[in-house]
Amino acid sequence: MIKINLNGCLPRVFSDIETESSLWGKDIVFEKGKKYLVKSESGRGKSSFCSYLIGYRDDYQGAICFDEMNIKTFDAERWSSLRQASLSYLPQGLMLFDEISAIENILIKNALTNYRTREWINSAMVRLGIDNRAGFLVSKLSYGQKQRVALIRALCQPFDFIILDEPTSHLDDNTSAEVSKLLIEEVKASGAGVIVTSIGKDMELDYDKIIHL
Amino acid sequence: MDRIYSLLLGELSKKRILCFMLTQIVGVAIVVISVQFFFDVRKALDTTSLDKEYVILTKKVGTLSGLFSSDLSFSDANIADIQSVEGVGSVGEFTSSNFRVQAGVTMSSRGIGYTTEMFFESVDDEYLDVKSDQWRFDPKRKEIPIIVPKNYINLYNFGFAPASGLPKLSNDLIKSIGLDITVYDDSGSRHQFSGHVVGFSSRINTILAPKEFVEWGNSTFTNSGETQPDRLILSINPKQTETILEKLKSDGYEVENKVFNYEAVSKTVTFIVSITLFIGVIITIMSLVLLVLSLFLLIERNRSKIFNLYILGFPLKTIFKPYMKATLLLSSCSFVFAYILSLLARELYLSIMVEELGVGDISNNVWLPLAIVFGLYVLVVGVMQLIVLKELRLIRK
């Protein structure tokens, strides 16, 4: 997948409201290999935007196309293979399984894709400072620790685009910088596109474009 | 993918599994038992008698009539009268042996010997309820096949043997015992035969030998000539049993054996079995509902997990697999249990039917219950899987 087109895409809930947005209702292209920051205040449809791209909501008017294909035509199998091999997603709610350990959360995804070695996962955990939390149940981790677990899990698959919904909201500056560094390395290696959303504290990347919702 | 299994099925409680399996076992077992019982009873009724009923007729023995034996025998006119009664099919005559017979058993290995006076009667083969290849007599071979009443064996096994501390005898054992038959002719000379029991009759209460033997014996060993029969066997239409018996009694005859009312028994059995089957089906449906409910509950509890798995890219079939395997495994276990239960139950009621009711040979149709179990299994598991799939699809969107 090389590009994502938004053609007059607008959440239905906003259809009656006048909005000043450089994304909603506009024609915008996200290209592979570039980094985008989508900045917004809360309640502007930032998470809706992510869920449209990941395919679990379609309550919008206009169209979203992956390589000129309208994504509303995709069936469940197509979405499943996209989520395994083309689209990586770090949701704001993290979507971790509380009742299993941090490492199990990562391995469950990696078992599906077989993309990373156990060594890579271990070293990523060391780099983000959560290696000593590997065996802990996710329910016992702090939100910042959970964010890092979810990021490593998001990297356990091949992708053309990675969508990160407020990835560093609960991280201190040092950790945040380390997360950015790891992400940049992986993105460079795969040549993928990055779409980061933020309502305040931005993840430090050299963005090609900043879009205000 | 063990992680998916423990993630999705980890909350399945043992209590719920047990409850579900118990209801399923009971439901399926009841359905299978009632269906196979229905077929077995049908078969038993078929082998007993379907379109013909047999009764044995004698004249009433009065205080004085015994002194004049000719009063107790049926004249040709009597037989013609009986034959003319509506619903009476054929009339068979009993022919008795008019010569003296002694039967003996010797067990040379144990040095035990035993002889008794006895007699033979015979009747046309069409009235017999025993089929045997050995049922024929050839004067050159000097072998006499014998059919004894089932009642005699029961009388011995359940009355005489326990009371006198003797062992019970199985049918096969009795058949294997050789008898020494001695026949005395009018001049008192002995003629030796060997005899053995070839079958057990529940219809005719006498010691039977082939008609060829009795007739041959009567003409060879005695000069008494033709005699009139004392007993008759009639084949009658089972639907007219009541009126025929009434008529025969009013004519002064006595009916010896109790008539088996096929119609009434068949209706009662069908009714009882239908009710049992109905209850079995209801319990099976209830167990299915219980299972579906617990599956719903399990899926409902896991709704957010399942949704997360979809977002992580897991396809439906990977998420479905743990549920599929769990339902398959649980149902397989309970169906096997139910099948074993139904086999045990069948063993039990068949032995009761054979021993207490004297029902004859019911061929063991093991495929029927197996087919029912398998059919039900496919149906039940299929329905469960469809429901789970539908629920999982709903979460996807």
Per residue in B317-357, pLDDT (tens digit) is 999 999 899 889 988 999 999 989 988 988 888 888 776 66
B3 and A84 within 8 Å at the Cβ level: the answer is no
pLDDT at residue B374 tops 60 = yes
Confidence of residue B153 (pLDDT cuts 50, 70, 90): confident
Q: Do strands A27-31 and B53-59 pair parallel, antiparallel, or not at all (unpaired)?
A: unpaired
Q: Is B310 on the interface with A (CB under 8 A)?
A: yes
CA distance B7 to chain A (A): 8
Confidence of residue B236 (pLDDT cuts 50, 70, 90): confident
Average pLDDT over residues B243-266: 74
pLDDT at residue B5 tops 90 = no
Looking at residue B155, its amino acid is L
Tell me, what's the pLDDT at A97? 94
Q: Is B390 on the interface with A (CB under 8 A)?
A: no
Which among B49, B215, B43, B229 is positioned nearest to B129, based on CA atoms? Answer: B49
Which segment of B135-139, B146-150, B350-354 scores lowest on mean pLDDT?
B350-354
Tell me, what's the pLDDT at A202? 80
> Taking all residues of chain A, what is their mean pLDDT, rounded to a whole number?
92
- Domain count for chain A, please give it: 1
Looking at residue B99, its amino acid is F
Give the span between the Cα atoms of B121 and B256, in whole angstroms. 16
Average pLDDT over residues A70-81: 94
Q: In what order do the strands lie in the sheet with B53-59?
A: B88-93, B232-236, B53-59, B253-255
Give the span between the Cα atoms of A89 and A175, in whole angstroms. 20
Q: Is A99 on the interface with B (CB under 8 A)?
A: yes
Tell me, what's the pLDDT at B288? 75
Residue A34 and residue A192 in contact, taking contact as beta carbons nearer than 8 Å: no
Tell me, what's the pLDDT at A162? 96
Name A7's bridge partners.
Answer: A27, A63
Q: Please give the interface size between A and B, counted as residue pairs whose CB atoms are below 8 Å apart.
A: 54
Tell me, what's the pLDDT at B48? 55
Residue A148 and residue A175 in contact, taking contact as beta carbons nearer than 8 Å: yes
Give the span between the Cα atoms of A59 and A80, in whole angstroms. 20
Cα atoms in the 13 Å half-sphere on the side-chain side of A70: 10
CA distance B392 to chain A (A): 12
Higher pLDDT, B229 or A19: B229
> What are A8-47's pLDDT values in tens digits?
999 998 888 777 888 999 999 999 999 999 998 888 889 8
Give the span between the Cα atoms of A169 and A172, in whole angstroms. 9
Q: Positive or negative, the Cα torsion across B337, B340, B342, B348?
A: negative
Cα dihedral A70/A72/A78/A82 (nearest 10): 70
> By three-state DSSP, how is residue B346 classified?
helix
CATH number of the domain where residue A132 is located: 3.40.50.300
Chain B residues inside the 8 Å CB shell of A104 = 3
Q: What is the reported pTM?
A: 0.65
Residue B74 and residue B229 in contact, taking contact as beta carbons nearer than 8 Å: yes
Cα atoms in the 13 Å half-sphere on the side-chain side of A123: 6
Tell me, what's the pLDDT at B179? 87
Chain A interface mutation, best of B3, B307, B312, highest count of A Cβ atoms under 10 Å: B312
As given in the structure block, the two tokens for residue B375 are 């059919």
> By three-state DSSP, how is residue A112 classified?
helix
The values of phi and psi at residue B371, to 5°, are -65, -40
Q: Considering only alpha carbons, which residue of chain A is nearest residue B393?
A: A76
pLDDT at residue B154 tops 90 = no
> Taking all residues of chain B, what is their mean pLDDT, rounded to a whole number?
82
How many other β-carbons are positioned within 10 Å of the β-carbon of residue B248? 20
Give the span between the Cα atoms of A150 and A136, in whole angstroms. 14
Tell me, what's the pLDDT at A79? 95
CA distance B374 to chain A (A): 33
Q: Locate tokens 């309970």: which residue?
A: B334
Q: Considering only alpha carbons, which residue of chain A is nearest residue B4?
A: A108
> What are B63-112's pLDDT values in tens digits?
665 555 556 788 888 888 888 888 888 888 888 888 888 888 876 666 66
CA distance A179 to chain B (A): 20
Which among B232, B250, B234, B230 is positioned nearest to B71, based on CA atoms? Answer: B230
pLDDT at residue A59 tops 90 = yes
Instruction: Name the residue range of residue A138's domain.
Output: 3-212
Higher pLDDT, A152 or B300: A152
Residue B208 gets which letter from DSSP?
B
Helices (H), chain A: 46-54, 76-85, 102-113, 118-127, 143-154, 173-190
Distance from chain centroid for Cα B144: 29
% of chain A surpassing 70 pLDDT: 100
Tell me, what's the pLDDT at A110? 95
Which among B256, B297, B198, B259 is positioned nearest to B61, based on CA atoms? Answer: B256
Residues 8-67 of A with CB under 8 A from B: 54, 56
% of chain B surpassing 70 pLDDT: 88
Residues in contact with A90: Cβ distance below 8 Å, sequence separation at least 6, in sequence order = A147, A150, A151, A154, A162, A163, A164, A165, A167
A111 and B3 within 8 Å at the Cβ level: the answer is yes
Average pLDDT over residues B135-142: 86
If 0-12 CB within 10 Å is exposed, 13-18 middle and 19+ buried, where does residue A24 land?
A: buried
